[in-house]
Structure 1
Amino acid sequence: MNSLGSKLFSLLVVVLLAALIYVTVFSGNGQAPDIQVKTASNQTLNLSKPMKPVLVNFWATTCPGCVAEMPHLADMKKKFGDKFELVAVSMDYDPEDQVKKFMANHSYPFTYIMDKTGSMAKAFGGVMLTPTSFLIAPNGNIVYQKVGEIDYAIVNKKLAEMTPDL
């Protein structure tokens, strides 16, 4: 009888592991949180249903990789124009005066948001490392996420697919 119990337990463990692997591999990256932001053009954008692609990039002034990728992100925004939104979110641990100084010295063509309370980082699954980026499709699905500098070839390809008239 003990043998039957251990076999059933083993089967249960295998089924649970298979379910976990299936959800991890095949379920995509999930849905963007229901957060509204004001864009640089003073429009309200709901990240859970943005109606156009949005790249949310968590960054910090003390992060060399973050600062290095900003000009590349600006080029991407210029390339896709109004068909694409880019939101750069500073981390709550980044001193506010330092973020404001950076923003004043770098007038990139995208939206800056200061996440003073960490609520946006928390809504995106507890972002702690920078840079961390999420590409959100027009329907609100997260189609790409990366901790570290983004892979521009992949993101540009996904943006081209989501904005075919460009």
Structure 2
Amino acid sequence: MSRSPLIFAVSFLLLAGCDRAAEAPAQPAQSAEGSAGVGEVARTFAGTPLPAMQFADADGNSLDLAAQDGPVLINLWATWCGPCVVEMPQLDALAGELDGEVRVITVSQDVRGAEVVTPFFAQRDFARLEPWLDPDAQLSAQFTPEGLLPLTVLFDAQGKEVLRVAGGYEWDSPDAIAMIRQSLAPQ
């Protein structure tokens, strides 16, 4: 067997194993009451515009990122990502706390899309999160070519990046809420 087909076969097997069911997370999840807070806040990409991309949910509803008319917090996540799963209820609580100030948008990077995201949402009682899908990982490629999840990016009302957090974060904490509000306050 020549080297090229072997490399292709190994690459295919590695990629096929990247998307796991929620029952078998690829990254260890913290305890149910544990924190996802290990991510670091970075402002390296501040000023970068919100990408003009569209996503859909399992029902065919569409989300146009470029059409957002206020501050938005975008979270890239996947059902197989332990810290992502821990963050989801926190993001739902954050969306409630910042209702009318910041729209919280979660976009799944699961390759199997609605097949795994729909049951994930059905098992939980999210009051504000919507199951947006990006099975081609377009958004991940835009923000984190290395594929690090979770990744959360805050954009201001003009559609310019303010900050991002790579890795888990305790989004419903008073510190996180204050950081978001302070980051969006007029200077």
TM-score range, shorter chain: 0.5 to 0.7
Conserved 8 A contact 1:62-1:94 = no
SS of aligned partner of 2:73: strand
Counterpart among 53, 69, 90 of residue 51 in structure 1: 69
Mapped partners of 1:73, 1:130: distance in 2 = 15
Conserved 8 A contact 1:134-1:144 = yes
| Pair 62,94 (structure 1): closer, same or farther in 2 beyond 3 Å | farther
Higher helix fraction (1 or 2) = 1
Q: How many correspondences in the alignment? A: 139
Normalised to the residue count of structure 2, the TM-score between the two structures is 0.60
Aligned-residue offset at 1:148: 0.3
SS of aligned partner of 2:162: strand
Show the counterpart of 2:40: none
Show the counterpart of 1:129: 148
SS of aligned partner of 1:81: coil
SS of aligned partner of 2:147: coil
Mapped partners of 2:137, 2:169: distance in 1 = 22
Normalised to the residue count of structure 1, the TM-score between the two structures is 0.67
Counterpart among 141, 154, 167 of residue 148 in structure 1: 167
SS of aligned partner of 1:58: strand
Aligned-residue offset at 1:37: 5.2
Q: CA RMSD in A?
A: 3.2
Give unpaired runs (5+ residues) of structure 2. Answer: 1-42
Counterpart among 104, 110, 123 of residue 105 in structure 1: 123
AA paired with 1:159? I
Larger radius of gyration: 1
Aligned-residue offset at 1:163: 7.0
Give unpaired runs (5+ residues) of structure 1. Answer: 1-24
Q: Does the alignment pair 1:63 with 2:63? A: no
Aligned-residue offset at 1:61: 0.8
Show the counterpart of 2:24: none
* Identity score, percent: 24
AA paired with 2:163? Y
Mapped partners of 1:66, 1:125: distance in 2 = 15
Counterpart among 153, 174, 180 of residue 159 in structure 1: 180
Show the counterpart of 2:92: 74
| Pair 82,36 (structure 1): closer, same or farther in 2 beyond 3 Å | farther
AA paired with 1:156? I
